[in-house]
Amino acid sequence: MTALPNRSIAPAPSLLAAALLASLATTDIAHAAPAGQAVTLDAVNVTAADATEAARRALDRVHGAGNVVDMTQVGQGRIAGTADVLAYQPGISAQSAGNEGVKVSIRGSGLNRAPGAHASGLSVSLDGLPLTGPGGTPYELLEPLWLSRVEVLRGANGFERGALALGGAINYITRSGRDTPGLELHYEAGARGYQKRGISLGGVQDAVDYFIAYTDTEYDGYQQHAAGKGKGAVANIGWQLTPDLETRFFLRYRETDHETPGRLTRAQIRNAPRAANPANVAIDARRPQPGSTWFGNTTTYTIDEDSSLQAGLVYHKYPMDLNESLYRQQLDYANLNGTLDYRRRHALFGHDSVTTIGLRVTHDLDANVRETLRFASNGYAAGTHTRDFEHYGTDSVLHIGNDLALSDTLRLQTGMALIHTRRDVQVTWPATAEKLSERQWDYAPRLGFTWQQTPQTQWFGNLSRSVEPAHPWSMIWGSNKYFAAGNGASTGRQCAPVELDNQTATTLELGARGDSVLGRWELTGYYARLNHELLTVEVQPVPNLFIAESNASSTVHRGIEAGLDSALWQGVGGRLSLRQAYTFSDFRYRDDARFGSNRLPGLPRHYYQAELRYDHPAGFYAGLNTEYASKMFVDYANSMAADSYVIFGTRIGYDAPGGRWQAWAELRNLTDRHYAATVTPGYDDAGRDVARSTPGDGRGVYAGVRWRFD
């Protein structure tokens, strides 16, 4: 494999300089954990603030980079969706295409997946139970008002959760009766018809705690033909059966429906970003999801003071009714996913040690598609049956790891995972003999360390292998095998699946984190060499939409992730703070026969977010924020790029003492900057301005209020 040309990397000098200075500074603030503690993000059922702080301390024991998102802080402004939840987080790109189909990428995972599609490159969990299945990650159950916190383990650091995808693991933690007692009412509204309403009730009764909530959302959208709505409910019930045995049940149900306005050209983004793509309007493109149900349980048994066993099982049913092209595709999806985790603290070679063994299985129960014509075509009436096909998968991961304390300051982690994947894909009507039935074994070793240089500074690193199998649906949706003439309304539709190899990567990660006079900081660098990277390309636009996925030639992903939270001033009159997050991303081919060392399209090279904030002891707060993204290419030939942008926003609010009520208002995109939030790449646009981009929101005012009653 040929190395990339030597190129300079020049990320945000002021931020990185501050982070490097922080590594040399010493203070009395220390978040270092005792050497004998385990490497995990443990769930703690106390107050929300205590649980979040415990998760942050646990993150300091991970042999790599991660994030803990405090939903209390996120909730002090608009929380329309996942993009709001994951803002100001180093190493994470989360951009909305104007609806809930947010495109989330970490270290280039799924970097050019179209927004709204089932996401790839990340292992997403709800309360430790898998949401991501063989077909990727649906998004309709990720309602922010239901969350207590979010834990992110970037890259290979999700190993102990069986998360072996390039981007790592995201775990969304549901609120419980222990951290959200009483009755709570929530309402927020703003520009372009946006409204969100919520009601929740939580409490503790002897050995049982409970949390139930209902929310509904509606919006007209920034673009024309972009209206949407959603509603759903959640329940979280825990029961401490004995001092050593706890079980917890989770239920989520939600339905969504939104219009799809389509992508725009760069000229339209600059001059008419609120327009819809005419082809999408002509066919009334929309994405109804009639109702997703997610029901799970985790049961934890504490065997003794040194060992525990946890089992989890979840049933997930999520039908879809896609009306985004000339064809209506009705999908009947259902998964049965399970986890089993054992951990034991013991001595190894005379040193403190923690060994973990885990099994994670995600299995498709249903993955069937019925396709019909939405409009009369070629002499066939609307509703004519064109195809039936199925795409089943099972992903099983068995992992064993050990965390060894070589000294009071140095810890070593070793691990190995075995992966078995199954893919069964075929067109069942009109019946064909071509069927894909594939079974593959793969492996993922891991070696990592943490070194507590001082009480305030910790270094970490790891060398890991990641494995990501292709989604079963991509093997038929992007196939280049078609029904020949004479097959009626099926003529020209894909008739058989194509094989896709597992995407694998070897990643080296080095970094440091700590506290200093400048604040809490982190700085991470990584270099990943990928084989068979799964990349998507738009072959045909709407109305005959065709986005294909295939294995690329060798690629490389490298980057820098930096964060700094600083207290600039603090006194009896309040506190002035600055939080910053910067991500440098360099993703490119390695000597591709067609594209050489071109950059991969889909994400900006530089991405920076910051917020300057004042907090008064009485509960008043005000902030000014900014977001910068450099240009990003929209095709693999690098012949055209979306513009770079800088946007600003501000917010003010008040938290009443004791948390009884809260009110806030914010203004987003103060200068009404026109910019592209996401792109879905083409192959080679030869410098033509093709409709590849979705616009970010324009200027808008939002306000919200929350009441809490015991």
Predicted confidence (pLDDT) at residue 613 exceeds the cutoff of 70: yes
Question: Could you tell me which of 151, 186, 2, 189 has the C-alpha nearest to residue 71?
Answer: 151
Exposure string (b/e) for 136-154, b if CB count within 10 Å is 16 or more?
Answer: bbbbbbbbbbbbbbbbbbb
Question: Which helix (DSSP H) or strand (DSSP E) does residue 253 occupy?
Answer: strand 245-259
* Distance between CA atoms of residues 539 and 206, nearest Å: 59
Q: Which of 165, 62, 44 is nearest to 111 (CA)?
A: 165
Q: What is the 3-state secondary structure (H, E, C) of 125-137?
A: EECCEECCECCEE
pLDDT tens, residue by residue, 451-486: 999 999 999 999 999 999 999 999 998 899 999 999
% of the chain at pLDDT higher than 70: 93
Q: Exposed/middle/buried for 445, CB within 10 Å: 0-12, 13-18, 19+?
A: middle
Confidence at residue 61, expressed as pLDDT on a 0 to 100 scale? 87
Spell out the long-range contacts of 540-543 with Cβ–Cβ below 8 A and sequence spacing 24 or more.
541/263, 541/277, 541/279, 541/691, 542/262, 542/277, 542/279, 542/280, 542/283, 542/285, 542/324, 542/325, 543/279, 543/282, 543/283, 543/325, 543/326
- Percentage of the chain surpassing pLDDT 90? 85
Place of tokens 């969990």: 125
Quote the pLDDT of residue 78.
95
From 418, 420, 415, 463, select the one nearest 440 (Cα to Cα). 420
Look at residue 60 in the predicted model and tell me its pLDDT.
Answer: 86
Eight-class DSSP state of 108: T
Q: What is the CB-side half-sphere exposure of residue 298 using CA atoms within 13 A? A: 18
Do residues 705 and 661 touch, judged by C-beta distance below 8 A?
A: yes
Q: Can you give the three-state secondary structure of 173-228, one letter per residue?
A: EECCCCCCCEEEEEEEEECCCEEEEEEEEEEEECCEEEEEEEEEEEECCCCCCCCE
Alpha-helical runs (H) found in 351-503: 474-477
**CA within 13 Å, CB half, 159:** 32
Per DSSP, 146 falls in state G
Longest dimension (CA), the chain: 82
Listed range (32-41, 236-245, 323-332, 542-551) with the worst mean pLDDT: 32-41
CA distance 270 to 290: 35
Q: What is the pLDDT of residue 118?
A: 86
Peptide bond into 430 cis (omega under 30): yes
- CA atoms 111, 114, 115, 121: torsion sign: negative
Average pLDDT over residues 573-593: 97
User: Residue 3 burial (CB < 10 Å; 0-12/13-18/19+)?
Assistant: exposed
pLDDT, residue 9, reads: 34
CA distance linking residue 451 with residue 459, whole number of Å? 5
pLDDT of 7 > 50? The answer is no
pLDDT grade, residue 401 (50/70/90)? very high
- What are the tokens at 541? 């636009």
CB 214 within 8 A of CB 197: no
- Report, as an integer, the average pLDDT of 120-128: 95
Please write the tens of the pLDDT for every residue from 62-94. Answer: 999 999 999 999 999 999 999 999 999 999 999
pLDDT at 4: 34
Q: What is the mean pLDDT of residues 573-585?
A: 97
Calculate mean pLDDT across residues 691-703.
Answer: 97
pLDDT tens per residue across span 264-314: 999 999 999 999 999 999 999 999 999 999 999 999 999 999 999 999 999
How many whole angstroms separate alpha carbon 112 and alpha carbon 87?
20
Contact in structure between 63 and 462 (CB atoms under 8 Å): yes
Q: What is the structure's pLDDT at 47?
A: 65
Whole-angstrom distance, CA of residue 470 vs CA of residue 134: 8
pLDDT, greater one: 243 or 14: 243
Q: Mean pLDDT in the chain?
A: 91
Please work out, in degrees rounded to the nearest 5, the angle formed at the alpha carbon of residue 161 by the alpha carbons of 155 and 166.
25
pLDDT of residue 526: 98
- In order of 94, 206, 319, the CA distances from 292 in angstroms are 23, 32, 7
Whether the bond between 543 and the residue before it is cis, its omega within 30 degrees of 0, is yes
Q: Over range 643-657, report the average pLDDT.
A: 97
DSSP state string for 589-635: ESSBTTTBTPBPSSS-SEEEEEEEEEE-TTSEEEEEEEEEE--EESB
CA pair distance 576, 465, nearest whole angstrom: 42
β-bridge mates for residue 417, sequence order: 399, 444
Q: Please give the backbone phi and psi of residue 58, each rounded to the nearest 5 degrees, phi first.
A: -65, -35
Say what the pLDDT of residue 20 is.
Answer: 34
Q: For the chain, what's the residue count?
A: 710
CB of 257 closer than 8 Å to CB of 246: no
